[in-house]
């Protein structure tokens, strides 16, 4: 599964001031999300590690959530019903197991970015301050991601994004939406294993180290 993202293109003209481009974004770092606020879509910088207010062991924060079990897990149920978001990325990474070795691959579209389904939460402190956080949603892999891993982040087309963000969408319709979404990935290529370290930064993290595989 993908525990690393690339988000180096801002989804809006003027992103939050604290945001900076990232080619090797790891859980625990800040990431941009798109969510509904007062009837319109806003862009916010949040922590990539979901932390509901009731969570007391912050080391148990989740960076991903399985679509099949969202309704059953207290960590995700309320966010699914009330706090859904899109995580706009340029691409994501999956590690392909080759014996004892794992080769990282970078997955993306030919043109434009990917819209990953996400959930967000707000962690409130006694002094009135708070921080917002998110987790991405995963599902059984399809298309190109299925060649590398049994799971993938859920990526939406434009129509699916609108349904996911709409407050009027019935909660019962959300799991089918997630599980039926086709992968929007249209190409992937291996990258240098050095990017497996979160300390490795820069555009070289996404640079091909071998032949790309594309959809015809």
152 near 183, Cβ under 8 Å?
yes
Q: How confident is the model over 43-62, as pLDDT tens digits? A: 999 999 999 888 888 788 89
| DSSP 8-class letter at 147 | G
Residue given tokens 């399985």 in the structure block:
66
Mean pLDDT of the chain: 94
CA distance linking residue 32 with residue 132, whole number of Å: 11
* pLDDT band at residue 154 under the 50/70/90 scheme: very high
Mean pLDDT (whole number) for 118-126: 92
Kindly tell me if the per-residue pLDDT of 214 is higher than 80.
Answer: yes
State pTM to two decimals: 0.95
Shortest CA distance to 210 belongs to which of 113, 116, 98?
98
Residue with tokens 């959930």: 119
Higher pLDDT, 171 or 99: 171
Domains and CATH numbers, the chain: 5-205 (3.90.1680.10)
When pLDDT is averaged across residues 9-24 and rounded to a whole number, the result is 94
What is the per-residue pLDDT across 62-102, written as a single tens digit (0 to 9) for each?
A: 999 999 999 888 899 999 999 999 999 999 999 999 888 99
Closest to 83 (Cα-Cα) out of 32, 153, 154, 133: 133
pLDDT confidence of residue 1: 59
Q: Closest Cα partner for 203 from 212, 191, 211?
A: 191
Please give the Cα distance from 196 to 176 (Å, whole number): 33
- Length of the chain (residues): 216
**Helix H or strand E segment including 106:** strand 101-108
Residue 53: the pLDDT is: 84
**Per-residue pLDDT at 57:** 83
Q: Quick check: 216 pLDDT over 80? A: no
Which spans in 62-209 are helix H? 74-82, 158-165, 174-180
What is d(CA 42, CA 88) in angstroms, rounded to the nearest whole number? 12
Quick one: average pLDDT of 110-123? 96
Q: Does the pLDDT value for residue 33 go beyond 90?
A: yes
Q: Which two tokens stand for residue 33?
A: 């999300």
Nearest to 33 by CA among 100, 121, 105, 108: 121
């Amino acid at each position: 599964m993908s525990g690393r993202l690339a988000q180096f293109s801002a989804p809006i003209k003027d992103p939050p001031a604290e945001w900076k481009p990232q080619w090797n974004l790891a859980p625990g770092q800040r990431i941009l999300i798109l969510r509904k606020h007062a009837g319109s879509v806003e862009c916010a910088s949040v922590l990539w590690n979901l932390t509901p207010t009731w969570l007391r062991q912050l080391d148990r924060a989740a960076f991903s959530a399985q679509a099949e079990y969202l309704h059953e897990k207290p960590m995700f149920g309320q966010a699914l019903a009330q706090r859904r978001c899109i995580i706009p990325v340029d691409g994501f990474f999956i590690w392909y197991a080759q014996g004892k070795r794992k080769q990282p691959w970078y997955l993306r579209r030919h043109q434009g970015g990917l819209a990953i389904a996400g959930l967000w939460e707000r962690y409130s402190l006694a002094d009135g301050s708070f921080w917002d956080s998110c987790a991405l949603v995963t599902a059984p892999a399809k298309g190109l991601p299925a060649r590398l891993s049994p799971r993938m982040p859920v990526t939406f087309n434009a129509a699916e994004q609108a349904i996911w963000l709409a407050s009027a969408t019935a909660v019962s319709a959300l799991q089918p939406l997630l599980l039926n979404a086709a992968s929007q990935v249209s190409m992937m290529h291996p990258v240098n294993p050095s990017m497996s370290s979160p300390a490795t930064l820069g555009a070289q993290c996404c640079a091909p180290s071998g032949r790309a595989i594309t959809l015809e």
